[in-house]
Structure 1
Amino acid sequence: MRSGNLLNKADLARDIGIAPSTANQWLSVLEASGQVVLLEPWFSNRTKSIVKSPKLYLSDTGVLCALLNLRSVRDLRQSPSAGAIWETFVFAQLRHRERRAGRSGRVYYWRDRTREVDFLVEAGGRVELFEAKWSEIPSLRDAVNLEFVRGILGPASVSKVAIVCRAAHGFPLASGIQALPASEL
């Protein structure tokens, strides 16, 4: 399953044995019906996300788990796809949060040749940076890319930096970086 990965339509078509034009048509249908969402990279004058391809996310983590034949929490915990499923879930929660706030189309990702931040949200003229980690206690190492992007943008441009994890409660992880459960988004 490709949820949370960069979309390469040619690879997708090859992997499932169809023409690239057919893959493109089906992706359009899946996107129009709300089954998948394409997350675009973020650009600004200060920094450019070198990657131009969108990331593909399934809209429903339950469907994603069913497609991966994960039938229980135990199956999920043992799955090599747990991180991608968590990232898909966090993306869905951010999208819900933005809709409740009356905003749409303001969630992106940031990536250069070696670093990635899962989600960048434009909010009130500033940005929020989020990393999704399938962990109950994230480490400082998990925050390296968040700190890098915050440094490029400048602290005044960034209103929130957080690792969204499976912790029961939020806690400070590093200077200006929080570890948050998804319920605190």
Structure 2
Amino acid sequence: MADAWHGNRLNRLVKRPKLHLCDTGIASALLGMDGPALAYDRTLFGQLLETFAYQELRRQASWHDVRMSFHYFRDKDGAEVDIVIDGGASDTAGVEVKASGTVRAADFRGLRKLRGPLGDRFAGGVVLYDGEATVPFGDRMHAVPLRRLFDRPS
């Protein structure tokens, strides 16, 4: 389960927890969804893809020396960031997950909202998507192919 991320300067935050099952295969089976059904129900596919990315990022964070906590961000105006990775007193990053082969500037709305109050603590914002290229979208913002989660570090 991911708790809502908040900082003292974000006074219009929605603080309901968000539930992520540990295994998207089990979640799909419990929902009676197979590959063709998920291809048809893009909304559910997107939710499972977000959960998959969340769990993979948590696994990879466990290998690092810096302790990271995972949250999400949503304000009362509807701006949302699927995954907020907080490195404590150091850096905070945001990750949006899109079940799409294209990314638009509007997909960074929640990340821009998160960046504002963080200032220099904002390490960066990433939209993970089903595309091929890593594309910059302004200061510390990038669209990154989801498959990059599995690339070996260089």
List structure 1 runs of 4+ shifted beyond 3 angstroms: 102-105
Contact 2:83 2:96 in 1 (8 A): yes
Deviation string, structure 1 residues 40-87 (Cα, Å, up to 9, x no partner) = 111223224622221111110111111222222x33221131111111
2:40 equivalent to 1:75: no
Contact 2:67 2:87 in 1 (8 A): no
In the alignment, the residues of structure 2 paired with residue 69 and residue 102 of structure 1 have an alpha-carbon distance, to the nearest angstrom, of 39
Letter in 2 for 1:119: I
In the alignment, the residues of structure 2 paired with residue 103 and residue 182 of structure 1 have an alpha-carbon distance, to the nearest angstrom, of 23
Where does 1:105-144 land on structure 2 (aligned, <5 Å)? 106-114=69-77, 115-123=79-87, 125-144=90-109
In the alignment, the residues of structure 1 paired with residue 7 and residue 108 of structure 2 have an alpha-carbon distance, to the nearest angstrom, of 21
Deviation string, structure 1 residues 84-122 (Cα, Å, up to 9, x no partner) = 111111111111121121455611111211221111111
In the alignment, the residues of structure 1 paired with residue 67 and residue 12 of structure 2 have an alpha-carbon distance, to the nearest angstrom, of 21
Give the deviation of 1:142 after TM superposition.
0.8
In the alignment, the residues of structure 1 paired with residue 141 and residue 68 of structure 2 have an alpha-carbon distance, to the nearest angstrom, of 24
Moved more, 95-104 or 121-130: 95-104
- Cα distance, 1:184–1:120 mapped onto 2, change above 3 Å: same
In the alignment, the residues of structure 2 paired with residue 175 and residue 136 of structure 1 have an alpha-carbon distance, to the nearest angstrom, of 22
Secondary structure at the residue paired with 1:100? Answer: coil
| Residue number in structure 1 paired with 2:23 | 60
Contact 2:80 2:110 in 1 (8 A): yes
In the alignment, the residues of structure 2 paired with residue 134 and residue 121 of structure 1 have an alpha-carbon distance, to the nearest angstrom, of 20
Contact 1:140 1:174 in 2 (8 A): no
The sequence identity of aligned pairs, in percent, is 29
The two structures have a TM-score, normalised by structure 2, of 0.84
Where does 1:15-54 land on structure 2 (aligned, <5 Å)? 38-48=1-11, 50-54=13-17
Contact 2:82 2:97 in 1 (8 A): yes
Contact 2:132 2:145 in 1 (8 A): yes
The two structures have a TM-score, normalised by structure 1, of 0.71
- Cα distance, 1:48–1:140 mapped onto 2, change above 3 Å: same
- Cα distance, 1:70–1:102 mapped onto 2, change above 3 Å: farther
Q: How many residues align?
A: 146
Task: List runs of 5+ in structure 2 lacking aligned partners.
Answer: 150-154
| Residue number in structure 2 paired with 1:172 | 136
Higher-Rg member (1/2) = 1
In the alignment, the residues of structure 2 paired with residue 173 and residue 77 of structure 1 have an alpha-carbon distance, to the nearest angstrom, of 28
| Residue number in structure 2 paired with 1:5 | none
